[in-house]
Amino acid sequence: MATVRKRALRRPELDLDRFRWLLGLVVPAILVVLWHVLVTVGVFAPHQLPGPLTVATTLYSMAVAGELTGHVAITLQRVAAGILLGVSVGILFGAVTGLYGLAHDLLDPLFQSTKNIPSLAWVPLFLLWFGIGEGAKVTLIALGAFFPVYLNFSTGIKEVDRDLLEVAEVYDIGRLESLRRVVVPAALPSLLVGIRGGVGLAWMFVVAAELIAASQGIGFLLSDGRVMSRPDVIVGSILLFAFFGNLSDLAVKGVQRRVVDW
């Protein structure tokens, strides 16, 4: 009886929650309409800000012409490779500095101070070192993805609840097992926060890389749009970045929710 009533009470609440995310679309939708109206009315000159329909048409025709796929694919490829590299190295250094005080004291000050160097500042040096090939771009993106992963994982490991480590010690779990069963799960939430930040920064760094030294990619489209005075291409590229950036963030968030379910 009691459970039945509880369920009845819970139902509508649950249904509402399921559609809650739609609320987040309301304001952007209004903005797009506003954008359209302002351009049509003539508040913005079309050569500065084309209307949303123009942008959509441009993107569509580029897609149909097969032009877009190449740009998008190469950017996604760079970002994926950069994330893979950056996250792996971040996990490696995060683990080593989190577990060993000596490694932390030796390396952490270096990483802490380099993390604040703006992405664009690296570009000339990377061009010099790695040329204008894919290597330079992937390395730059990896650098961006590295820092949040490193910082969060290292701190996550260092801050594992001492109480739980004592449990592992008293129950003689053994070093390796206690890493596997206590330290890693305890640091996993921090690691995922780091990966989320790293993926975000990877998108920032890919723009830096592609704006300056690329003949393909969404970032190249951006700068090409400026050179060709095509604001529709510029806005379209920005929207593409927004779309894929959000998509990757949602993906990591999904993993996060699935893995950290306690």
Partner 1 sequence: MSSTGDRDLEPRGGDGADSDQPALEVSALRKAYGDTVALSDVDLTVDHGEFVTVVGPSGCGKSTLLRVLTGLEERFEGRAEIDGSDVREGGSDDVGMVFQEPRLLPWATVRENVAVGLDGPDDGRVDDLVSQVGLEGFGDTRPDELSGGMAQRVSLARGLAYEPELLLLDEPFSALDALTKYEQQDFLLEVWNRLEPTVLLVTHDVEEAAYLGDRVVVLGDQPGTVERVIDVAVDRPRERTADGLVPVRESITDALGV
Q: Pattern 183-202, binding to partner 1, x per CB under 8 A?
A: --xx-x--------------
For partner 1, the binding residue among 171, 246, 251, 255 (CB under 8 A) is 171
The answer for 131, left when phi > 0, alpha when psi is -120 to 50, beta otherwise, is: left
For partner 1, the binding residue among 92, 107, 132, 164 (CB under 8 A) is 164
Give the shortest CB-100-to-partner 1 separation in angstroms: 19
Instruction: Choose the binding region for partner 1 from 29-37, 69-77, 176-184, 195-203 (rule: CB under 8 A).
Output: 176-184
Q: Are 99 and 184 in contact (CB under 8 A)?
A: no
Instruction: Choose the binding region for partner 1 from 77-85, 101-109, 133-141, 177-185 (rule: CB under 8 A).
Output: 177-185
Q: Are 137 and 202 in contact (CB under 8 A)?
A: no
The encoded tokens of residue 222 equal 């951006």
Selection from 45, 137, 154, 53 nearest residue 94 by Cα: 154
Q: Which of residues 26-45 bind partner 1 (CB under 8 A)?
A: none
Selection from 91, 107, 94, 92 nearest residue 155 by Cα: 94
Q: Which 8-state DSSP code applies to residue 213?
A: S
Q: What are phi and psi of 173, to 5 degrees?
A: -75, -25
Contact between 67 and partner 1 by CB under 8 A: the answer reads no
Q: Pattern 69-88, binding to partner 1, x per CB under 8 A?
A: --------------------
Contact between 170 and partner 1 by CB under 8 A: the answer reads yes
For partner 1, the binding residue among 163, 215, 229, 258 (CB under 8 A) is 163
Q: Cα separation of 22 and 40, whole Å? A: 27
- Give residues in contact with partner 1 (CB under 8 A): 163-164, 166-173, 177, 181-182, 185-186, 188, 262
